[in-house]
Amino acid sequence: MSRPAGAIDPLEVAERVVERALRAGATACDAVVVEAESSSTTVRLGEVETVKLSRERRLGLRCFAGEASAVASTADFDAAAIDAFARQVVELARAVAPDPFSGLPDPALLAGDWPDLELYDPTGLEMPPEDRVARAKSCEAAALACDPRLVNSEGADFALGSAWVAYASSAGFAGQYRSTSYSLSVAPVANEGGAMQRDYWYDAARSLSRLADPETIGRTAAARTLRRLGARPVPTQQVPIVFDPQTAASLVGHLAGAVCGGALYRRASFLLGKLGDEIASPLFTVIDDGRMPRGLASRPFDAEGTATRRTVVVERGVLRSYLLDGYAARKLAMASTGSAARSVGDVPSASPTNFHLAAGEHSPERIVASVQRGLYVTGLSGFGVNSVTGDYSRGASGLWIENGELTHPVEEVTIAGNLLEMYRDVEMVGNDLLFRSSIVAPTLKIRQMTLAGR
């Protein structure tokens, strides 16, 4: 996946279009250029099902005409086309209604030099197609070999990609970074007495060497699938709920959405006006770290050139910070946290990076052992979360806990509560935090929730 001969330099293009936009009359502007390439190989039941390769190169330009602004994107990198594109975006900006909160960030906030975050490892990018297929096949075969009840598969997928991001603005910023990503997943299907169950497992990393081996991923997926066989509902009751890391991450994800600037100034967040309040258990500390080495969402600067950073969002239960881009910060009369993100053709908006619930001191086994009767949740379904009120109701599946031990599998139940109450009722936090995605959490135990079953 090497760059073709004669390829453009993304940073030079970004700087050129900024200069052209200023010459065309923009009062301020910024540009982002992204070159990305990705490949995925899917096998199912030992046969290659799909092989995909995609390449993208796009330029996004945001121009200001006073307090008015416009954003557009193009894939035409011809010099004359870029000049015409810059003029057109400036003309669009002049036709838009002004917004007093629009603008580029304060130059004092812009990133200067930055550390190597170890985001780029090209050693696996030139992997031959047959080796990619072999990884996916090995993963699926390892899963299906675990038990004769594993009779089918939704496939195994091995994917890799690289990206080159460049950003320049009339505020005097110019910077770029490169990144790679590698992932492998598999979803086996089990059959027992005509009842079918499926589950999956995966890993993702910035470098191929840090990706879990195919056999480990396959065996984990098999174990997760087999333990679902024989699932049944349980009676409606109030019980402790233990969320495994996968499902606990979704609870942290709801918090991430609630602390981002757009939800706040639109008054669509259950955390609006709660800065400085105790919103969770003292065991609950949440961090957003844009400069975590090898982090799957790390970057040296945000989509406005502002320096990224480590932000403590919740400290021992107290809401300490929101996540803000420049626009949201001005709208809320606060300061940017370097959290701006954008797709090439859109305006920046606040978004989490490596957003995680800090690890606690308890092993998952100890957390389960602390529950007399309750549910260990391994899967969630539905979208019953109200972002304004925090009311929570989702379908759940998992394993029943009886006398501190995992017993039979459970499905077709619903768990309900309110996110603020759930955060405050966190009684134990696990020590099993792993960064396999951008929003993660360890195992956690909530004192009590309503479980609706049969």
- Mean pLDDT to the nearest integer, 206-229: 97
| pLDDT the model gives residue 1 | 43
Tokens read off for 8: 């453009």
Residues 252 and 388 in one domain: yes
- Mean pLDDT to the nearest integer, 389-412: 97
Of 224, 254, 275, which residue constitutes the final position of a domain? 224
Does some domain include residue 4?
A: no
| pLDDT the model gives residue 113 | 86
Residues 202 and 305 in one domain: no
Q: Which domain holds residue 452?
A: 231-454
Residues 140 and 214 in one domain: yes
* 454 — pLDDT class (breaks 50, 70, 90): confident
- Mean pLDDT to the nearest integer, 129-140: 97
User: Could you give the number of structural domains in the chain?
Assistant: 2
Of 224, 242, 277, which residue constitutes the final position of a domain? 224
Residues 219 and 248 in one domain: no
Predicted confidence (pLDDT) at residue 4 exceeds the cutoff of 80: no
Residues 209 and 82 in one domain: yes
CA distances to 254, 275, 341 from 101, in Å: 27, 22, 17
| pLDDT the model gives residue 5 | 42
| pLDDT the model gives residue 264 | 97
- Mean pLDDT to the nearest integer, 71-88: 96
Residues 199 and 308 in one domain: no
Does some domain include residue 5?
A: no
Of 224, 257, 284, which residue constitutes the final position of a domain? 224
Give the span between the Cα atoms of 240 and 451, in whole angstroms: 9
| pLDDT the model gives residue 252 | 98
- Mean pLDDT to the nearest integer, 345-366: 97
| Identity of the residue numbered 108 | A
CATH number for the domain that contains residue 102: 3.30.2290.10
| pLDDT the model gives residue 445 | 98
Task: Give every CB contact of residue 63 below 8 A, 6+ residues apart in sequence.
Answer: 21, 26, 28, 29, 69, 70, 71, 86, 89, 90, 92, 93
31 and 18 Cβ atoms separated by less than 8 Å? yes
Tokens read off for 284: 């609950």
Residues 284 and 362 in one domain: yes
Does some domain include residue 2?
A: no
Taking only the tens place, the pLDDT of each residue in 286-311 is 999 999 999 999 999 999 999 999 99
Residues 23 and 123 in one domain: yes
Q: What is the pTM of this model?
A: 0.94
- Mean pLDDT to the nearest integer, 395-419: 97
| pLDDT the model gives residue 12 | 96
| pLDDT the model gives residue 136 | 98
Predicted confidence (pLDDT) at residue 366 exceeds the cutoff of 60: yes
Residues 180 and 286 in one domain: no
Residues 160 and 292 in one domain: no
Average model confidence (pLDDT) across the chain: 96
Residues 179 and 41 in one domain: yes
| pLDDT the model gives residue 270 | 98
Does some domain include residue 70?
A: yes
- Mean pLDDT to the nearest integer, 214-230: 97
What is the three-state SS of the chain? CCCCCCCCCHHHHHHHHHHHHHHCCCCEEEEEEEEEEEEEEEEECCEEEEEEEEEEEEEEEEEEECCEEEEEEECCCCHHHHHHHHHHHHHHHHCCCCCCCCCCCCHHHECCCCCCCCCCCHHHCCCCHHHHHHHHHHHHHHHHCCCCCEEEEEEEEEEEEEEEEEEEECCCCEEEEEEEEEEEEEEEEEEECCEEEECCEEEEECCHHHCCCHHHHHHHHHHHHHCCCCCECCCCEEEEEEECHHHHHHHHHHHHHHHEHHHHHCCCCCCCCCCCCECCCCCCCEEEECCCCCCCCCCCECCCCEECCEEEEEECCEECCCECCHHHHHHCCCCCCCCEECCCCCCCEECCCCEEECCCCECHHHHHHCCCEEEEEEEEECCCECCCCCEEEEEEEEEEEECCEEEEEEEEEEEEEEHHHHHHCEEEEECCCCCCCCEECCCEEEEEEEEECC
Predicted confidence (pLDDT) at residue 7 exceeds the cutoff of 80: no
Does some domain include residue 1?
A: no
Residues 170 and 251 in one domain: no
| pLDDT the model gives residue 2 | 46
200 and 221 Cβ atoms separated by less than 8 Å? yes
Does some domain include residue 3?
A: no
